[in-house]
Structure 1
Amino acid sequence: MTLTLPRRATAEFTGTALLVAAVVGSGIAATTLSPTDVGLQLLENAIATALALGALILTFGPVSGAHFNPVVSAVDWWLGRRAGTGLDTRELAAYVVAQLAGAITGTVLAHLMFGLPAAAWSRTGRGGGHLWLAEVVATAGLVLLVFALARSGRASAAPAAVGAWIGAAYWFTSSTSFANPAVTVGRAFTDTFAGIAPASVPGFVAAQLAGGLVAVAALAAWYPRAADTADDVVMPHLTRETELR
C-alpha cells in the first residue's frame, strides 16, 4: 500500500496550520507593536502572510502541491476528474479534512505562542455584499493564477506569484482577501485582529466557492486544457503513481 496519500494529507495539515498561524500570529503581533495605526497593522499582517505563504509552498509543494485551500483542491478534482489527473474523490476528502483541521490547529498554535487562551470565538462581524464580492474576486483570481501557472509551465513561479496575489489582495479587496474556506474557519477561533465571527463564516465560504466557479469558467475560456496539468497545482507533487523516496 502506498504511503503517498497520508504523506500528502499530513503536508496539507501542517502547511495550512502554519499558514493560519502566520495570519493570526502576525495579526496579534501587529496590534501589539502598532496599537494605534490600523493601516500599519494591516501592512504588517499582509507582509508576514505573503512571505510565509511563499515559504510554505516551497516547503510542502513537492509533497502535496501545497493547496492549503479547499477551493483549490475542489477545482483540481473537478478539472481532472475526466482526464485522470489531479485529485480523486478520496484524495479530495482527505485534503479538505486535513486543511480544515490544520487551520484550527494553526489558530491554537498562534494563541499559545502569544500566551493567549488556546481558542476564543471571534466577535468581529464581517458581512455584506461588498465583502462577499471581494471574496469572489480574491478567490477567483487565486485559483485562476495557480492553474494558469501550471498550464503554461510556470508552476515554479507559484511561491512568489501566489504570495504576491494574496499580499496585494489584502489591500485592494474590502474583505482583506481570506480567499480560503479553511483559513476562514480557522480565523473564527480567534478574537484578535485576524478574527471573523462564526456567524459571518457561511457568507464568506459561499462567496469563496462562487469564486472557484468563476475561475472554472475563466479557465474553460482561456486555458481549456488546464486539466492536463492538474497534477502540477499549485506545484508538481506526489500523485497516485509517484512517491518521493
Structure 2
Amino acid sequence: MPVEWQPVRQSRTHELVLQSIEEQVFAGKLRAGDRLPPERELAPVFGVSRSALREALRVLETIGVLVAQPGRGPDSGARIVRHPDDALGRLLRLHFALGSYSLHDVMEARVALERASFAAAATHASEEDLDEAGAMVHRMSQPGVLPEEFNELDTRFHVKVASSSGNALTSTLTAAVRESVRPLILRALEEVDDWPATQAHLNRQHAEMLRLVRLDQGDEAADLAELHIRGFHGTLVDEDRTGGDADGATA
C-alpha cells in the first residue's frame, strides 16, 4: 500500500510533520523497517523547510520509533524501528530525577510489574531464557564482583525474567522502571556497611526466585520477588520519607 504524503500547514511546523507521519503509521502505511524518503524529497512534499523536518525526525528518534543513519550509502536515511525500551527508560529516568514520581511510586510500580513477570515466567519462560538468567545469577555470586557490575547484572536479571514472561509490554515497562532507579540503587549498594554480606543475601533471593520459576511455582516466585523489592528498594523509600538525599542520588 503506497504512502500518500500531504503538505502540512506552516503553523508549528515540526508538530504537524509529526502528526502526518503518525497518521501514516496508524493507517498501516508505515511499518517497522520501512525507510522514509530522503530529506531533500520529503521536505518539499510536506511543504516545510528541511530544518523543520529534521526537528520532527529528531523527536521520533528520541521516542524510539525512528533511527537516522547519516551518509549516502544504501543504509543511509531515516528508517522506522521499534526500540521502546531505551526511549521509555530515558524518559522515566529524567522524570524521576525531576521529581515527577516518588520513590514510593516507583517501588509500587516495580512490585506490580515484577509480581506479574515472575508469575508468568513460570509458565512461559524457555529453558534458554532461564539459563541466561541463571548465568547472571552465577556471575553475581562471584567473589570480587563490585556494586557497579552487580547492579548491571541485577538489572539485566530482572529484565530477562520480564522478557521471558510472554508479555512484551510488561517487559518494556519493567526495563524502564528498573532503569529509572539504577543510579539510586547503585549508590545505595556502594554505601552498604558490609558489601559481601549484602551481595550474598540479594543473590540468594535471586537464586531462589529463579529456582521457583523453574519449578513452575509462579505464585511463590512472585511473593519472593515482592519481598526482594520491598526489602532493599523499601529501605530507600524509608530514607526518602525521613529526609534522605534521594534527589542527589538520582542527579
Do they superpose with TM above 0.5? no
Structure number with bigger Rg: 2
**Higher RCO structure, 1 or 2 (CA under 8 Å, sep 6+):** 1
Q: TM-score, normalised by structure 2?
A: 0.32
TM-score by length of 1: 0.33
